[in-house]
Amino acid sequence: MPEHSINQIAHLLGSPLKEEKIVTHFAIDSRKVLQGGIFFALKGKKVDGHNFLGEAAKRGASSGVVSEDYQGPDHGLSLVRVGDVQEALHRLAKFFFAQRKERVIA
């Protein structure tokens, strides 16, 4: 992934921040977050990713993408608030795939 700041990513998602932390990778599983990553707090049928923001922070995440109605603690993360976390993940994936020179077939 090319280097982008959390501010650039937040701007792409329509929720600008005034921070310049570099995002190293994306994660949807708090157990797989690495230093400087951004954690997407997806809501599933049985589990809500918002409940794992603290775990993501402990593992080194610098940021999190959360629902705009999330009212819990930030756990020291820069939070990007969006209407739909899954849609935000799709939008970012589409943006990054469009920047690639290689063609994706399947």
- If one counts every other C-beta atom within 10 angstroms of the C-beta of residue 23, the result is 21
**pTM of the predicted model, to two decimals?**
0.87
CA 13 → CA 9, 53, 105, distances in Å? 6, 19, 26
Pairing of strands 63-67, 38-40: parallel
Whether residue 99 is predicted with pLDDT greater than 90 in this model: the reply is no
Pairing of strands 26-27, 38-40: parallel
pLDDT digits over 18-59, tens only?
A: 888 888 889 999 999 999 999 999 998 999 999 999 999 999
- What span, in angstroms and rounded, lies between the C-alpha atoms of 54 and 77? 9
